[in-house]
Structure 1
Amino acid sequence: MKIANIHEAKTQLSKLIESALAGEEIIIAKSGKPLVKLIPYQEEPKPRIPGG
């Protein structure tokens, strides 16, 4: 788990995104307090339509 402050997240967003895509958990904090978690986006599967 990597914790980055907002300033670091703004300056190194591309690297943090790559790390998250590689499976690392990224927490973005403000003044040392966790605010958000950066995780890869996963599309929800579309419901199957019978008879289609």
Structure 2
Amino acid sequence: MNEKTYSMPSYQYGEYLIWGLTAIMLVEFLNVGLNTTIPLDAPQFHASHSHPQNR
């Protein structure tokens, strides 16, 4: 298996992984709308976190 690693923001919320554009938009909304200071540093996102394609 060809394992790839991508850098993008990702946040764990319960059983959910919020990542990519959704994470960026959510963090920007919280930072601007609620005056929070959530960083947008990009943790490592591993391809193994993605959903199985055979559904």
TM-score, length of structure 2 as denominator length:
0.32
TM-score, length of structure 1 as denominator length:
0.33
Q: Which has the higher contact order (CA 8 A, sep 6+)?
A: 2
Larger-gyration structure (1/2)? 1
